[in-house]
Amino acid sequence: MDMGILAQHLFNGLMLGMVYAMIAVGFSLFFGVLDVIKFSHGDVVSVGAFAALGGASAIGLLVDMPGLSLLFGLLAAIAVGGLAGVVIGGTLVLPLRNAPPVNVLLVTLMAGTILREAIRLGVPNGGNPKPFPVLLPQWQITAGSFSIGFDSVLILIAGIGIILATHLLITRTRIGLAIRAVAQDVDVARLAGIDFRRTVLGTFALGSALASVAGLMLGLYYREVNFSMGLVLGVIGFAAAVVGGLGSLLGPILGGFLFAFVQTLVTIVLPTASAYKDVVAFGVVIALIGLFPTGLIAERSSERV
């Protein structure tokens, strides 16, 4: 295999891993503050993609300025995704905080179904895939057999930037401090004067906005969005978060890139068996959990007596 193709594969894998990581980080954040799994998270990705599509198209109808369309698409994705997170968190997850965890899982799964069906029934012909407008410059970077769109590079850089920014937000700011405090010990955090409800909802907004922006980036990258795109991504994001270690920030990022790496590797090494790539990837997940029961980067306090 020549270097160009190898580089191309590497780039594809990085791109995929970045998207998985952005989704997985949300799972980890929610688990950190509330010890819950919010399974509608994958569908928030689709909601974000469609919100961005709506925002960008609306501007596109008024003026022909891709940059402005992109900005509005981004704002729409952040606003709608964050709102979805706050609404689901506030009306479904927080009130069920003392119910068995599986109830929360089921309720949020159903909330995801509602989001998904709402897109399918609410968008005209929503059952079919929708094209995403081209909003980034279309230059090609070519070197031998390696050819890559300039927009792909931009998307990758933006994604990594967003993940870094989230990391800084959690570790370096007061909001981050509050989130970390709630994650560590709710009661002590309350005593220290942290508004529990606001912190939790803020975390839900942050995690959901991340997933929502991931939806926008998927639209830009694949140039196509559809109502069920979040379903598989949700499962993979969850897997990545758990394998990496719930509750930490680095874990899910690691998990995301690992999952993408395994999937890409199977396609390269065993092209005729590429259909087995999910079998292998999930097999690796099971094996890793067997070896590292609390994730690659273990939870700070896995035992809460």
Partner 1 sequence: MKLKALALALAGLAGLATVGLQVAQAKDTVKIAFIGPLTGGSAAAGVGGRNSALLAVQQRNADPAAKYTYDLVVLDDECKPNVGVQVATKAASDRAITAGITHYCSAVGIATVDTYAKFKLPVVVWGAILPEITYGNDYKQIHRVNGTMINEGRLAAKFLTEQGAKTFVVIHDTTDYGKGQNKYFSEFLKPTGGEIVATFPVSPDQQDFTAELTRIKELKPDYVFVGGLTPLGVRVRSQMDRLGIDAHMAGVSGIMTSGFIEGAAQSSEGTVSFHNGAPLSRYASGQAFSDAYAKAGFREDPDAYGPFAYSAANLIMDAVEKVGPDRAKITEVLNGTKGYKALVGEINFDNHRQNIVDANVYVVQDGKWVYWPDSDYGTGKRKLAGK
Partner 2 sequence: MRSTNLDAAIATGAPPQARSLPGTAAAILVPLAAFGALAGLLQVHEQWETGLLVLAFLAALVLLDRSRAGRSLAEACRTQSGIASTSAVLAALALLWTFREDHYSLLMVATVALYAVAGVGLNIQMAFGGIANFAAAAFFSIGAYTAAVLAGHTGLPHLLVLAAGGVVSALIGVVMLLPVLRTRGHYVALVTIAFGVLLRTLLEVNDTFGGPQGMKIPGFAPFGSDFGDVATIAGFDVSFYLPYALAAAALFALAFLAGRMLERSWVGIAMDAVRTDEIAASAFGLSPARWKATAFLTGNVLIGVAGALYGMMNGFVNPNGAGFGESLIMLSIIVLGGLGNFWGAIVAGAVIIILPEKLQSIQEYRLLIFAVVVIAILRFRPGGILPRPLRTLGRQQGGAS
Please report, as ranges, the residues that interact with partner 1 according to CB under 8 A: 1, 5, 8-9, 12-13, 15-16, 125, 127-131, 140, 145, 147, 149, 152, 218, 221-224, 226, 228-229, 231-233, 263-264, 267-268, 271-272, 274-275, 278
d(CA 124, CA 101): 36
d(CA 234, CA 45): 8
38 binds, among partner 2, partner 1, none (CB under 5 to 8 A by kind): none
The verdict on 269 binding partner 2 (CB under 8 A) reads no
CB of 45 or CB of 206, closer to partner 1: 45
Let me know: does 218 contact 45? Beta carbons within 8 Å. yes
Give the amino acid at 70.
L
**How buried is 294 (Cβ within 10 angstroms: 0-12 exposed, 13-18 middle, 19+ buried)?**
middle
Let me know: does 52 contact 77? Beta carbons within 8 Å. yes
The verdict on 289 binding partner 2 (CB under 8 A) reads yes
270 binds, among partner 1, partner 2, none (CB under 5 to 8 A by kind): none
Strand partners, 66: none
92 binds, among partner 2, partner 1, none (CB under 5 to 8 A by kind): partner 2
Which alpha helices (H) appear in the chain, and where do they start and end? 3-34, 41-62, 66-88, 101-122, 150-172, 174-184, 186-191, 196-222, 229-244, 250-269, 277-291
257 binds, among partner 2, partner 1, none (CB under 5 to 8 A by kind): none
Other C-beta atoms within 10 Å of 164: how many?
11
What contacts 190, CB < 8 A, 6 or more positions away? Answer: 196
**How buried is 250 (Cβ within 10 angstroms: 0-12 exposed, 13-18 middle, 19+ buried)?**
middle
d(CA 214, CA 18): 9
Shortest distance in whole angstroms from residue 80 CB to partner 1: 21
Shortest distance in whole angstroms from residue 184 CB to partner 2: 18
204 binds, among partner 2, partner 1, none (CB under 5 to 8 A by kind): none
DSSP 8-state code for residue 298? T
Chain CA centroid to CA 174, Å: 24
Let me know: does 211 contact 38? Beta carbons within 8 Å. no
CB of 53 or CB of 182, closer to partner 1: 53
Choosing from 3, 270, 283, 301, the residue that interacts with partner 2 (CB under 8 A) is: 283
d(CA 142, CA 124): 39
Shortest distance in whole angstroms from residue 20 CB to partner 1: 10
222-241 mask for partner 2 (x: CB under 8 A)? -------------x--xx--
Shortest distance in whole angstroms from residue 274 CB to partner 2: 10
Choosing from 111, 209, 253, 266, the residue that interacts with partner 2 (CB under 8 A) is: 111
138 binds, among partner 2, partner 1, none (CB under 5 to 8 A by kind): none
Choosing from 58, 65, 75, 114, the residue that interacts with partner 2 (CB under 8 A) is: 114
- Residues of this chain that interact with partner 2 (CB under 8 A) are 31, 37, 92, 95-96, 98-103, 105-107, 109-111, 113-114, 117-118, 121, 235, 238-239, 242-243, 246, 275-276, 278-279, 282-283, 285-287, 289-290, 293-295, 303, 305
